[in-house]
Amino acid sequence: MPEAGVPAPCDGSGLTPGAVAPMTAQRWHQPFPPAVPLASPMDQVRPHLGMVDGTDPGPPCLKPILIDGLFNQTKGTAMTPRVNYAQQSPELLKKFSEFLAATRESSIEESIRDLVAIRAAQLNGCTFCLDMHVKQAKIHGERELRLYHLASWRDSTLFAPRERAALAWTEILTRLPEQGVPDEIYDRVRTQLSEKEISDLSFIVMVVNSWNRLNIGLKPEPGSVDGKFGLDKAGLN
């Protein structure tokens, strides 16, 4: 039982049950502990190594023009590309591209989609995806300092309640606990996002995680599509 006048301890969600609390710097600076352990070493990587969806319909790796560029790499570099999935599974890639394009028409705004894509890539350790998403976020006008804070967003005052809810939902679905997603987490996220938005966000998290897994497994070269998609305009080298 907390003492009189002392708020009850945060239960880990960072969101107040029941009603939407006003967004004050003090309230949202409270720690928002992860629902599951975040052990990935990529959490410590500077976010400007990050990834993008691409501004064109469909992800960059689906473009036929990129089939060679994605998987060509100079010998002696740290990463060696494996299977060229753009060549080997073009029809599956085309359908998946259409799915990704559909998520861009969802109820979740572009700025949150960018944060979600970066955070998932950080958690999964997808360098190719992280590289692309951060560059695109910069091109979309995201503040660079917020990108630096993203890996520790619970302790940052730079993210609004709606963004924090989206990041909490992204993390819980990316690192699913053994017993599933607790009702408490859903209930708190629900104070900031509608059922429609939670549903749309879940599809976005799903597609981002799918791309992470594909690119982690098959290892296209990070940054290989920058010139073709204008990602060099982000000014991150």
Residue 50, token pair as written in the block: 């990050």
Cα(133)–Cα(119) distance, integer angstroms: 9
Q: Which domains does the chain have, with CATH numbers?
A: 44-234 (1.20.1290.10)
The whole-angstrom distance between residue 184's C-alpha and the CA centroid of its chain comes to: 22
Sequential pLDDT tens for the chain (237 residues): 444 444 443 444 445 444 443 443 344 344 444 544 444 433 433 332 333 333 333 333 333 333 344 444 443 445 688 888 888 999 999 999 999 999 999 999 999 999 999 999 999 999 999 999 999 999 999 999 999 999 999 999 999 999 999 999 999 999 999 999 999 999 999 999 999 999 999 999 999 999 999 999 998 888 877 887 788 888 887
* pTM beyond 0.95: no
Cα(151)–Cα(121) distance, integer angstroms: 11
| pLDDT given for residue 164 in this prediction | 97
| Region of residue 213 (phi > 0: left; psi between -120 and 50: alpha; otherwise: beta) | alpha
Cα(131)–Cα(160) distance, integer angstroms: 24
Q: What torsion do the CA atoms of 214, 128, 170, 124 make, to the nearest 10 degrees?
A: 70
Rg, C-alpha atoms of the chain: 19
| pLDDT given for residue 34 in this prediction | 55
Rounded to a whole number, what is the distance in angstroms from the first to the last CA of the chain?
52
Asked if 43 and 126 touch (Cβ cutoff 8 Å), the reply is no
Per the DSSP assignment, residues forming a β-bridge with 51 are 132
| pLDDT given for residue 57 in this prediction | 38
**Listed residue (211, 142, 147) closest to 174, CA to CA:** 211
